[in-house]
Structure 1
Amino acid sequence: MSLLHDDDILRAAALLEQGRLVAFPTETVYGLGADAENPAAIARIYAAKGRPSNHPVIVHLAPEADPGYWVSAIPNEAQALIDAFWPGPLTLILPRAAHIPAAVAGGQNSIGVRCPSHPVAQALLRAFKGGKGGIAAPSANKFGHVSPTIAQHVRDEFTDGSVDLILDGGQSEVGIESSIIDLSRLDSHGPVLLRPGRITTLQLAQVLGVTPAAPDAAAPRASGTLEAHYAPRTPVAMIASADIAPTLQQLAAAGRRVALLHWSAVHHAGALQLPSSPAGYAHGLYAGLRLLDMADADLILIEAPPGSADWQAINDRLRRAAHDSAGILERLL
């Protein structure tokens, strides 16, 4: 539950207008916000996160704001998705309007925009520049690390004073980042799903009348789409449910300390069980990874979720979290 007052929102909006950084809650994860039309402020985001300057950020808009200010065209497909899913966890990649700074788009000619549904995010967006501004906001964590879903996660990430204010709006409901769909190349590629999220491929297809394609080599760069991302500091390995018990036995015999993240019935000291529904699992995933990251373990072992379409976004995040730990099981055993 949020403990914020109107004065907190007004203070945050004033800081943003001064080019400062404000972390705020959205329904997906907490964002690290700056004035999307201020290149110097955007540079502060990149510096605070340690984020490559060619990796674009998403512009968040108030429900009453005009997305047409930010893009050079809103095709029918985009308007249909806006009508169906905004406010909500869906980011649209569209051609960037010429007057919008390239810094917010990582130097690309396209730009990502979304309208969050979290009441604190909406209050901040309405207060900032009279509701007409945009807040550039990647996740409020160091680049590549696990995204934050409560205000304390943000405090834990930024102990250097680089963030001027953190708005505490409680735990993010969704718990993983927005779906990102590219509509900037409709004539040549059609709609392309760059990052899965709470809004599924099937839901998008039902609105668009066509199933979005998978990312191609020429697709625009987008937030959270690098092969290694969302990673705790402890190495991560993901294995099938049937392999958990024998793997735990082998690791114990090798004297390894293991933190286990699972969803089915598994008994292991230091284990954390998440719900067996995609929505419940996503809600607790990042908080769970952060908790297990503090367990002083040699390995975070993750029970692979089901491979069905409704688990696509979760499997995407876990695959990226484990990317840089490839081969870790073999090295520990």
Structure 2
Amino acid sequence: MNTIVWKVDKYVDNLERNPQVVDAARFLRENEVVAIPTETVYGLGGNAESDEAVEKIYMAKGRPGDNPLIIHIAEKEQLNRFVAEIPAKAQILMDKFWPGPLTIIFKLKEGILSEKATAGLATVGVRMPAHPVALALLKTCGLPIAAPSANSSGKPSPTKADHVIDDLNGKIAGVLDGGSTGVGVESTVLDCTEEIPVILRPGGVTKEQLEDVIGKVVIDRALVDESAKPKAPGMKYRHYAPNAEMYLVSGSREFLQQLVVEKRREGLQVGVLTTKEYQYDYKADVVLACGERADLESVAAALYDTLRRFNQLNVDVIFSEMFPGSGVGEAIMNRLQKAAGHKVITEK
């Protein structure tokens, strides 16, 4: 398959009439899959009402079939077609955070969406992306679009069109290149089918921001307890992993440097994930600064690109600093823990 790349300037007017956007929308209506830019990461979009299109998403990614897909819409009114009810708290959150990096779990109205998109569940996750190219495409095609991250399953999510091409070239119909994404980590997933909403995945909207709007929100216990069964089926899988073995390091920079020295003595190529403040404190084969520790949003925005750069530089092992677990730091640590397979080395 020849994968087409359409380049679109997100700052131009009348994006819905842009020839590249119109062409990509035609592919979606024909049940092909197209990678699209959002404000979080690039998504791999397909018609959520078509078994054929959804199957192509799973095949291209190598994604397990019990891992449901998030549905993307351009207008809130589209919910009425496939959502059974909209709780009051969900409506408040939609008014506050949509368009934006928040996915809300609703009870599903049966018989509209492909059962493959929802993995046969009685619920569905929906969001309205804030990226102007994504919104223009969604409005132009007029369909609810299922769109997981546009990467090979388990690998770091794509924040640039080049990342998508690296993973999926020849496997999908096209890539709508709208430049680098902004937030850099996926949307927050919030289950609003419970009386007290539950965060199933931390992301671009923080727990603190949610509670400022609707009051108490709880976190799925599986996010902090590996032995607990996650409510979201997809959270049981390893995600975001670089090619190299990765460890999180809880301790001083001197301790992390000691670990580097030990691995280099074994003849291994060693990488360190740090921030701009400390990038010159380490002596390793590869030291990459992932944003600034004083600005955790910059860390989130650079995280997946940094993990992919380690792949390009062919390191054997990566040691990563850890970050505060509040605010957007919760999403950063969630992704790093997944990338490292929850392997943490703690200084005695």
TM-score calculated relative to the size of structure 2: 0.87
**Contact 1:193-1:214 at 8 Å conserved across structures:** yes
In the alignment, the residues of structure 1 paired with residue 327 and residue 137 of structure 2 have an alpha-carbon distance, to the nearest angstrom, of: 34
Q: Which residue of 1 aligns with 2:4?
A: none
How far did residue 14 of structure 1 move? 0.5
2:282 to 259, 267, 270: 267
Q: Which residue of 2 aligns with 1:237?
A: 247
In the alignment, the residues of structure 2 paired with residue 70 and residue 222 of structure 1 have an alpha-carbon distance, to the nearest angstrom, of: 21
Q: Which residue of 1 aligns with 2:212?
A: 206
Q: Which residue of 2 aligns with 1:140?
A: 150
2:100 is aligned with 1:84: no
Q: How does 1:170-319 map to 2 (within 5 A)?
A: 170-186=179-195, 190-215=196-221, 220-221=231-232, 223=234, 225-242=235-252, 243-263=255-275, 264-265=277-278, 266-268=281-283, 269-274=285-290, 275-276=292-293, 277-319=295-337
In the alignment, the residues of structure 2 paired with residue 202 and residue 122 of structure 1 have an alpha-carbon distance, to the nearest angstrom, of: 27
Change (3 A) 1:319 1:227: farther
Q: In the alignment, residue 211 of structure 1 is paired with which amino acid?
A: V
In the alignment, the residues of structure 2 paired with residue 140 and residue 73 of structure 1 have an alpha-carbon distance, to the nearest angstrom, of: 29
**Contact 1:102-1:109 at 8 Å conserved across structures:** no
How far did residue 308 of structure 1 move? 3.5
In the alignment, the residues of structure 2 paired with residue 236 and residue 165 of structure 1 have an alpha-carbon distance, to the nearest angstrom, of: 32
1:42 to 54, 58, 66: 54
- Secondary structure at the aligned position of 1:194 is classed as strand
In the alignment, the residues of structure 1 paired with residue 341 and residue 229 of structure 2 have an alpha-carbon distance, to the nearest angstrom, of: 22
Change (3 A) 1:213 1:281: closer
Which portions of structure 1, spanning 4 or more consecutive aligned residues, are displaced by more than 3 angstroms?
1-5, 215-220, 307-310
Q: In the alignment, residue 78 of structure 2 is paired with which amino acid?
A: D
Change (3 A) 1:241 1:171: farther
* 1:196-231 C-alpha deviation (Å, 9 max, x unpaired): 0121111111111112242466764355x2351111
Q: In the alignment, residue 131 of structure 2 is paired with which amino acid?
A: H
In the alignment, the residues of structure 2 paired with residue 252 and residue 162 of structure 1 have an alpha-carbon distance, to the nearest angstrom, of: 38
How far did residue 162 of structure 1 move? 2.0
In the alignment, the residues of structure 2 paired with residue 247 and residue 306 of structure 1 have an alpha-carbon distance, to the nearest angstrom, of: 22
In the alignment, the residues of structure 2 paired with residue 253 and residue 162 of structure 1 have an alpha-carbon distance, to the nearest angstrom, of: 41
* 1:131-157 C-alpha deviation (Å, 9 max, x unpaired): xx2110000011111100000000000
Q: In the alignment, residue 267 of structure 1 is paired with which amino acid?
A: Y
In the alignment, the residues of structure 2 paired with residue 64 and residue 122 of structure 1 have an alpha-carbon distance, to the nearest angstrom, of: 12
In the alignment, the residues of structure 2 paired with residue 294 and residue 210 of structure 1 have an alpha-carbon distance, to the nearest angstrom, of: 43
Instruction: State how many pairs are aligned.
Output: 320
Alignment gaps of 5+ in structure 2 = 1-6, 223-227
In the alignment, the residues of structure 2 paired with residue 117 and residue 185 of structure 1 have an alpha-carbon distance, to the nearest angstrom, of: 26
Identity %: 37
Q: Which residue of 2 aligns with 1:168?
A: 177
Alignment gaps of 5+ in structure 1 = none
In the alignment, the residues of structure 1 paired with residue 126 and residue 76 of structure 2 have an alpha-carbon distance, to the nearest angstrom, of: 14
How far did residue 44 of structure 1 move? 0.7
**Contact 2:48-2:145 at 8 Å conserved across structures:** yes
In the alignment, the residues of structure 1 paired with residue 101 and residue 335 of structure 2 have an alpha-carbon distance, to the nearest angstrom, of: 16
2:30 to 6, 18, 25: 18
Q: In the alignment, residue 199 of structure 2 is paired with which amino acid?
A: L
